[in-house]
Structure 1
Amino acid sequence: MLLAALFLKEPVTNKKVLGIFCGAIGALLLILGNGHATQKGNGSLTGDLLCLTAQCSFAVYLTIFKKLIQKYTVVTCMKWMFTYATIVILPFTYKDLAILPWAEIPTTTWFETAFVVFVATYLAYIMMMTGQKLLRPTIVSMYNYVQPIVACIVSVATGLGVFGWSQGAAVLLVFGGVWLVTQSKSRADLKSEHASPTDPKS
């Protein structure tokens, strides 16, 4: 929201602030309310900080990338983004790739890797970039709050977590926050409202 206001001149409305606040509270309830993993010693402040840094980087990407995704096609942006990412990451990974016992990798691992690459990455980015073309950065980022809900459902299904009243309240807060942000007015909406009826542009 702040970056969109700074770079794209999007308004900071009451609904937007309230929606983001509700979504953030819901996400925090899901993250902090499930102490099962922390009790097992799997909680990590470093991991939380890394996730926070990643989300801040993602927010910058959503804001700065808005004008670029409207200028070029989704396929073109995907092609150059993944090509550049491959070039950047290869110096850090080529040694591990070179010593990897490819012949010993089981078939299930290949299927799992294929799911991560094509479904959770490639298709997810195509849909997200298409959403970036049609929606404001704040709305796109608000749907990111759905991730802890999915993670909570999967953790409960696999026996790694529990689902209680706090998780239910968190889900309602997240979706309520998303709804509020989608109902908030954009810069274009406010411009059209303030346009004079006699203005030829109105």
Structure 2
Amino acid sequence: MKITSFIFGIFITIFCHISHAQTSKTSTQLKEIQGLYEVDNSGNISYVNIIENLNLSEKEIYDRALSYFITKYGDANSVIQEKNEVEGRIIGKGIYPNVHSGSGLVTRVFSAVHILRIDIKEGRCRAILTLTEYDVKSYDMDGNMYPSKYPITNTYPFNPKGGEKNFHGQAFAKSHQRVELELAELERSIREGVISSETAKDDW
């Protein structure tokens, strides 16, 4: 019995040490990305990227943006919600799957729901990407899965009193990374086209 208690004590010590190290790492990651986003009036996290100096007409930009949406958001979980060529606006809703998974007494797998809006003018466009909620699958020790959804800003670091700080801190830091990749990919697609000019040439 004493041996079992001793081993359990060692396990708890190691677990606490690892948890502290991960929390310290999470805290550093969150500090590095402070100021790169804002919480909007709806309580969502928003990123804005204005793409300028495009030697393209409004229609050309619209067509490239639409091609990006069709290519990127072609699955059942990602839907174009609005297409308005007259107003120069496209809005799509999607999900970043499995942005983070972590284990404790339960295992949680986080996905991040987002909305991407593109506003288009002659020679430039604006992308607004908004993170709205986590889509979470929690698994207990018997493998049973419990789904849940809740606003990202209800959790740490936006809610300092939110529980499971390491889980949610890592989920947000990794969601932020997905946003940065998305905005960079979108800008590249607008500037260069989703399909290369060589592939789309007329003399086929």
Q: TM-score, normalised by structure 1?
A: 0.29
- Name the structure where helix makes up a greater proportion of residues: 1
